[in-house]
Every structure is written in C-alpha cells, then in structure tokens.
C-alpha cells in the first residue's frame, strides 16, 4: 500500500512537477482548440459533398477519403508527415505537421457524424423548404443542418473528446503537451507519479464531458436508463 502511494501518488513529486504539467496541459488545450474547428469544418464540407453532390465521383472521393483515414492509424500519419513534409521543401514547423495530421484524421470522423445527422433528417424537410422558394443553400442552412446537428450532438461532443485524447500522440514527436511533460519529468524523478498526475488531469478535464455526453445520449434515445 505504501509503495503504491510512494510510486503513484507521491504528493511531494506532484508538487514539484505540477507547473510543468500545467504548461503541458495548456498546450493540450490550445492544440485541441485549433484542431476541433478545423476538423469539424472540413468534415462538414466533406459530408455535404457526400450527401448533396449529384456527381458520383465527388461522393466516391469523399467515401475513399473517409475510409482511408479510418484505416490509417493517426500516429503513423503523424510520423509520416513529420518526417516527410520537410522533404517537400522548406522548413516545416513541427506544429504544422501535427495539426495537418490531426485535421486529416479527424475530418473523416466528423464527416461520418455529420453525414449520419444529415441523412437522418427527413427528405420531406428539404422538399418543404424548396417548395417555399428557398434555394438549396438556404434550405441546408436554415432547415436541414440545424436539425442534423441536433440529431448528432452527442456524437459531435464525443468526437471533441477524442481529439483531446488524440493530442497525446503528439508527445511522440516531442510536442510539449501534457503527456510529454509527464514523461519528461518522470525520467527526471525516476518515479511514475507524474504520469499518474497527468492521468488525473485528463480525468478532471474529460470525465465531466463524458458524463455530459452520457446524458445527451439518454435524452436522444429517450430512455430512463440507470
């Protein structure tokens, strides 16, 4: 029991490393804040392409994109871009490789979520809107998309949570986010406590969101649940 506290919940070490971890946490947060909107917008555009385009080629390209990035592990994508982009010329900042890799990966998941939401909106909605003279764009903007987003709110939130968890991958290429800070300090103090502290920080950040997600899902399916 003592050795558990000594090695995992060492308050002295917590005190020492907390400033470093908080710096890392800050990086995690702004990295997420950059990636989420970019991924969501890209995903929405892809989903619109897939559901609204008359062209078979556009639809299949989107599906191919989505399937490709669903099959490709994000860590591998990151390593590829991180080592590969410099070859295309110029000095590419580490951050660019990380953001591009994350957005490419995440846009495919946002696309799937938006697609499901759009397809869940009754076809009659678009028909009704068009029959009152609204253009396609307007119908989408004022009638279809608001309902689509409401349909998949839980999944959108779930995806945001996934992005925050995804940021840990950037630790592998030295990005100073929370996990990197934890691992660096761990090797300095020869004690796994920093990693446990980092885990606790992730929990503090993400557990409330997971609970919100659970209650959103309950409301969606209208179940009493436990």
Q: Please give the residue ranges that form the binding site for other proteins (CB under 8 A).
A: 3-4, 7-8, 67-68, 70-76, 79-80, 83-84, 87-89, 161, 164-169, 171-172, 179, 183, 186, 191-192, 195-196, 198-199, 202-203, 206-207, 209-211, 214, 217, 221, 223, 225-226
Judged by beta carbon, residue 22 or residue 203, the one nearer other proteins is 203
Is 172 in contact with 184 (CB distance < 8 Å)?
no
- Tell how far CA 189 is from the center of its chain: 32
Is 29 in contact with 20 (CB distance < 8 Å)?
no
Judged by beta carbon, residue 51 or residue 167, the one nearer other proteins is 167
For residue 135, the minimal CB distance to other proteins (Å) is: 30
Judged by beta carbon, residue 78 or residue 99, the one nearer other proteins is 78
Alpha-carbon Rg for the chain, nearest whole angstrom, is: 21
For residue 195, the minimal CB distance to other proteins (Å) is: 6
For residue 214, the minimal CB distance to other proteins (Å) is: 8
Residues 6, 98: Cα–Cα separation, whole Å: 35
Residues 113, 225: Cα–Cα separation, whole Å: 24
Judged by beta carbon, residue 45 or residue 209, the one nearer other proteins is 209
Is 33 in contact with 94 (CB distance < 8 Å)?
no
Angle between helices 56-71 and 11-52 (to 10 degrees): 160
For residue 33, the minimal CB distance to other proteins (Å) is: 17
Judged by beta carbon, residue 58 or residue 205, the one nearer other proteins is 205
For residue 207, the minimal CB distance to other proteins (Å) is: 4
For residue 216, the minimal CB distance to other proteins (Å) is: 13
* CA-based nearest residue to 9, from 215, 211, 191, 174: 191
Backbone angles phi, psi at 78, to 5 degrees: -65, -50
Judged by beta carbon, residue 139 or residue 154, the one nearer other proteins is 154
Residues 49, 41: Cα–Cα separation, whole Å: 12
């Amino acid at each position: 029991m003592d050795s558990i506290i000594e090695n995992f919940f060492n308050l002295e070490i917590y005190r020492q490393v907390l400033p470093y971890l908080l710096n890392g946490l800050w990086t995690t947060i702004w990295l997420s804040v950059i990636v989420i909107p970019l991924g969501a917008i890209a995903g929405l555009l892809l989903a619109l392409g897939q559901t609204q385009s008359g062209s078979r080629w556009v639809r299949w390209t989107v599906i191919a994109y989505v399937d490709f990035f669903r099959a490709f592990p994000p860590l591998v994508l990151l390593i590829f871009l991180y080592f590969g982009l410099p070859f295309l010329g110029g000095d590419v900042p580490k951050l660019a490789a990380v953001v591009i890799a994350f957005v490419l990966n995440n846009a495919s998941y946002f696309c799937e979520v938006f697609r499901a939401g759009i397809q869940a909106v009754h076809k009659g909605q678009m028909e009704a809107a068009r029959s009152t003279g609204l253009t396609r764009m307007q119908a989408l903007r004022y009638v279809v998309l608001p309902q689509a987003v409401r349909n998949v709110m839980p999944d959108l939130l779930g995806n945001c949570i996934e992005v925050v968890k995804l940021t840990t991958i950037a630790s592998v290429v030295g990005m100073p986010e929370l996990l990197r800070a934890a691992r660096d300090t761990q090797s300095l103090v020869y004690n796994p406590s920093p990693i446990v502290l980092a885990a606790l920080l992730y929990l503090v950040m993400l557990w409330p969101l997971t609970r919100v997600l659970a209650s959103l899902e309950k409301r969606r399916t209208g179940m009493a649940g436990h």
